[in-house]
Structure 1
């Protein structure tokens, strides 16, 4: 699997970032239930979110790290060369 890293700048407090990520997960479960098999999310401390989802039969593992001025999203994407 190939690792994909995306950095997203922000100017929010960490609590607000966590709140928005939690809300986005709930919305994704509702809005994409017919396309996404499952979305598992667990906070690992205050600044790291572990996500596992299944899309079209493919498992995608990701890690979201909250930094002071950016989010770092790392995805293990199957089938990318």
Structure 2
């Protein structure tokens, strides 16, 4: 699954907001029992693993000049929920980079 979120911010600003708010990602996963691990394999890529409800999702966020691109590998049993998940990701992703 791939979700693009447009932005008009400098990459450094987006990077700082993601780094300072990445701990909030788990708060936006339904059920309230998610664990999120993040790392920064490169300056403009945040890798993440989300574990929730017995499922593990892996992916990352790429910071571009005009958009964030969030990619997640959905397990087969969650594929039917892709439209709902992508909408939630789009909404919450915008909140993560919004001015705090």
Q: Same fold (TM over 0.5)?
A: yes
Matches of 2:71 and 2:25, distance apart in 1: 18
Give the TM-score normalised by structure 1: 0.80
Higher relative contact order (CA 8 A, sep 6+): 1
Aligned-pair Cα RMSD in Å:
1.9
Q: Which has the higher helix share?
A: 2
In structure 2, runs of 5+ residues without a counterpart are 81-100
Q: What TM-score do you get using the length of structure 2 for normalisation?
A: 0.67
> Unmatched 5+ residue regions in structure 1?
none
**Structure 1 residue runs of 4+, over 4 Å off?**
none
1:1-81 equivalences under 5 Å are 4-29=1-26, 31=27, 34-36=32-34, 38-78=35-75, 79=77, 80=79
How many residue pairs match? The answer is 76
